[in-house]
Amino acid sequence: MAFALKGVAYITGAGSGIGQYAAYSLARQGVRSFALLDRNPVTKTVTELKKAYPDISIKEIELDVANEAAINDSVDQTVKEFGRIDYALNNAGIGGALKTTDQIDMDDFQRVLAVNTTGVWLCQRAQIRQMLKQEKRTDSYRSYRGSIVNTASMYGLIGPTLNVPSTAYATSKHAVVGLTKADAIAFAPRGIKINALCPGYVATPLVISSMSAGSVMEDERVKVPIQRLAEMEEIGDCVAWLHSDASSYVVGASTVADGGFTIQ
């Protein structure tokens, strides 16, 4: 796989899991300028990237994606450092409690929406405002001013199973799919490509530990037609593809990478 990505990446939730592996995939495809954002330190991601690519430039930004001023400032800082933003991944997210509507309280519900939905919207708004100011990288008909990928979930497309009643999470991720479609339509004519990525179960440490023998989540693993969880690297590669010229006609898509879970 070679997508020859040249430009500046901005990734939220870059300290762990999908965000971390998306950074590795983008670097493998040629990206050498990164803004890596997370509410926790991104030390491991930075160490690995610098070890593999000594010529890499990384701006580390610690913030909460639900903080409007911090997000706007992070885009300003990235542009001050690197001049533009080509590949944005709005990926920071939380699972919230496995509760149905009658069980969940207001604060828990609102926090999941604040991070997973409002956080993505705040990032996307700041990125769009910047991308509208920058030119396309090349004069190829496939080129964009910038590309944005939002990490939704297969639970942004289907309801949660009876075993795993993640009401707030499913609500927040359906909203990310809707936001992606609305802004993809509004900004495609102005040269910005926006897509959602809808992974199924990914083998992050948290998911693996939650699927221990005898847990309700173990039943979920058995239902995946491909009979395994996604490797983080595979999902990272989907991000690289969605940012590449190879997906130039893919606009506003809810890109499913779920081992066949949602076609059942």
Residues at the contact surface with ligand NAD, assessed by CB under 6 A: 12-13, 15-19, 38-40, 64-66, 91-94, 115, 119, 151, 153, 199, 201-202, 204, 206-207
Specify the residue, 144 or 241, whose C-beta has the smaller distance to ligand NAD. 241
If you search the block for the tokens 């997906």, which residue do you land on?
247
Backbone conformation region of residue 13, classed left if phi is above 0, alpha if psi is from -120 to 50, else beta: left
Specify the residue, 156 or 252, whose C-beta has the smaller distance to ligand NAD. 156
Residues 168 and 115 sit within 8 Å (Cβ to Cβ): no
CB of 61 to ligand NAD, least distance (A): 10
Specify the residue, 92 or 144, whose C-beta has the smaller distance to ligand NAD. 92
- CA distances 154 to 98, 164, 213, 244, Å, are 16, 13, 23, 22
Catalytic annotation, pick one of 10, 24, 155, 169: 169
CB of 39 to ligand NAD, least distance (A): 4
The rounded Cα 158 to chain-centroid distance in angstroms is: 18
Q: How far apart are CA 124 and CA 39, in angstroms?
A: 18
CB of 19 to ligand NAD, least distance (A): 6
CB of 149 to ligand NAD, least distance (A): 11
Specify the residue, 7 or 93, whose C-beta has the smaller distance to ligand NAD. 93
Is 80 a residue of the active site?
Answer: no
Convert 44-62 to b/e letters by CB count within 10 Å (16 or more is b): ebbeebeeebeebebbbbe
Q: How far apart are CA 204 and CA 6, in angstroms?
A: 28
Q: How far apart are CA 256 and CA 80, in angstroms?
A: 35
Is 173 a residue of the active site?
Answer: yes
CB atoms within 10 A of CB 190: 11
Catalytic annotation, pick one of 173, 181, 193, 249: 173
Specify the residue, 16 or 29, whose C-beta has the smaller distance to ligand NAD. 16
CB of 100 to ligand NAD, least distance (A): 19
Residues 98 and 220 sit within 8 Å (Cβ to Cβ): no
Active site positions, annotated: 169, 173
